[in-house]
Every structure is written in C-alpha cells, then in structure tokens.
Amino acid sequence: MIQTITSTNFKFPGQQDVYRGKVREVYTLNNGLVVMVASDRISAFDHILPKGIPFKGQVLNQVATMFLDATRDIVPNWLLGTPDPCVAIGHACEPIRVEMVIRGYMAGHAAREYSLGKRELCGVVLPEGMKENDRFPEPIITPATKAEEGHDEDISREDILAKGIVPQDIYEKMEGYTRALFQRGTEMAAERGLILVDTKYEFGMLNGEVILIDEIHTPDSSRYFYAEGYEDRQAKGEQQKQLSKEFVRQWLIENGFQGLEGQVMPEMPDEFVDVVTDRYIELFERITGKSFEKADTSNITKRIESNVARFLMDKGFI
C-alpha cells in the first residue's frame, strides 16, 4: 500500500516553530536551520485537493534540488542538503516580501490581462499586436507582493522602491539574479526539448546577503511548453502543449469547480489520482533527464525522522 504525506507533526531536535503552506511544511530549528518537508498535497485555484498524490513531494523536492545545485554559481541559496527524498534542510533566512515573477512569453496571468485590453503589467509596457503564448522581445519582470493570506498582488518596480518595501540596492540585485536564473533555466530547458515560459523566484536575507530561497523551476512554480511544434501551433492559433499541472485544473473545471463561492470540490477517483502521479513522474523524467526512483513509502514518518536526525548529527548540528 503506497502511503502519502498529507500532513506532518514532527518534533525535530531544537524545533521552535512550524509553518504549513499549501504544499510544504517548514520547521524552524533553534540553530538557524529550517527543515522543509514537501508533502504530497496538491492545490489548484487556491484550494487543496482532498487526496494526496503519491510521490508528488518527492518529485518537487528532487527537481528543486537539481536546479538549486545547478545555479549556485549565479546566486547563493538556502539549501544545505536533502537527507530524505521529500526533505530539504537549509539556512533560515529573512524573507523579502516581494516575489520576482519573470515572463518570457505572453501566457497565463499576462495573457489574461492583455486580453482585457491592458497594455501595461506591473509598470512594464506590453507590445501591441501580440497573441497568447507569443514570445516577448525580451523577458519581462512583473513582481508581486507576498501576501500572508489570499492572493499575491501585482506591483511595479517603481512602487516597490517608492514605498520602501525593498531598498534599491537589494532590489537591483534581485533583478539581476532573476534575469540570470531565468537565462540558465531557459538553457537547461532547451537541452530537454522544453521552453521555460515563466517562473518565479523568492529571495531572503542572511548575514546581510541576498539569498535565493524556496523552490525554483519546478512544475508547481513554473510553466513549460514543449519546444517541438511550438512554432506550428502558434501559427495555427492552437493551444500549446504544456508540461505543468494545468491538466489538474482542467479536470476540476470539467467537474464544475474553479474555486468560486458555492462550488463543491469534486471527489477524486483513485484512477485520476494514479493519472496525476504518472504525470508528475513524467514531468520529473522530462525535466531532469533521469529515471524516477520511487522511495519506500511503507513508513514515511519514521523514514523522515530518521534521515533528518542522521543528517543533523553527521553535520554537527546536534
């Protein structure tokens, strides 16, 4: 029987606090470390679906680890190690309350705003005559303020600086890192026959230095198109073939749910859960170029506790 991680209640050595997000649970320790557990929860339309997706947490954790390791030459990051398939341990940083969203293509939120006639997004002027999924002349940065609850909100570079949300020197560093990270992600995606459409980066401060935090370039934080056939599909006005969790949103829409008031979350049949698992494994293998090795799920809680304790002891943190 495959187990999933839908909630955790660990008591790690030196634990001070725990934050439970939509997907990840972040345990803060008293030695300046955080233990981030990637659960098997899946969210769409700002709602958590009722069933866990086997191996989803492992997929996200291992993809994020690969990209964090591959970008250390660009910007320092929070990650120290991944002692368990679903766990990352790293430095506790002070989060900067601005999410750096960068877009290479007219897709998602940008396309929806454009279709409403708007020609400016977060202070960035958008070219006339574009259609959905067209490539921008050059990538645009469209920041968002990080909300404690609810939706993040678009904000311009000018407003961020005018309101003193982030000092100018720090913001300029974040901008530079964002463009360099997106360029690296674009190159790595191209090697796998993919197009990195848009993504987001989060930063924090550690000892006065800007640090990359959270996950990067995962299917949950990024949008990918298949490169093969992209030009033909654009020319014909067809939808692009995506590598993302968009198919989950489509299933919900087909079953009468878009997160609107009065709508009831549909029950997920086991057959659909299996499909979602298979798609996430496909995502992993396509993005990384490696075969996915399923972790032993017979006792996930004990496995995580043991692996975290061993890591902390071996590294001299306890």
The pLDDT of residue 317: 85
156 exposed, middle or buried (CB, 10 Å; 0-12, 13-18, 19+)? middle
User: Which of 314, 302, 311 is closest to 34 using CA atoms?
Assistant: 311
238 within a domain of the structure (yes/no): yes
Host domain of residue 199: 95-243
Q: What pTM value is reported for the model?
A: 0.91
1 within a domain of the structure (yes/no): no
Burial 254-284 (b: 16+ CB within 10 A, else e): eeebeeeeeeebeebeeebbebbbebbbebb
Q: What average pLDDT values come out for the chain (318 residues) when binned by 10 residues?
A: 89 93 92 95 88 95 97 98 97 96 95 95 96 97 77 88 96 98 97 96 97 93 95 96 84 90 91 92 93 95 95 89
120 within a domain of the structure (yes/no): yes
115 within a domain of the structure (yes/no): yes
207 within a domain of the structure (yes/no): yes
SS3 state at 95: strand
225 within a domain of the structure (yes/no): yes
Could you give the number of structural domains in the chain?
1
146 within a domain of the structure (yes/no): yes
232 within a domain of the structure (yes/no): yes
The pLDDT of residue 92: 96
CATH of the domain at 141: 3.30.470.20
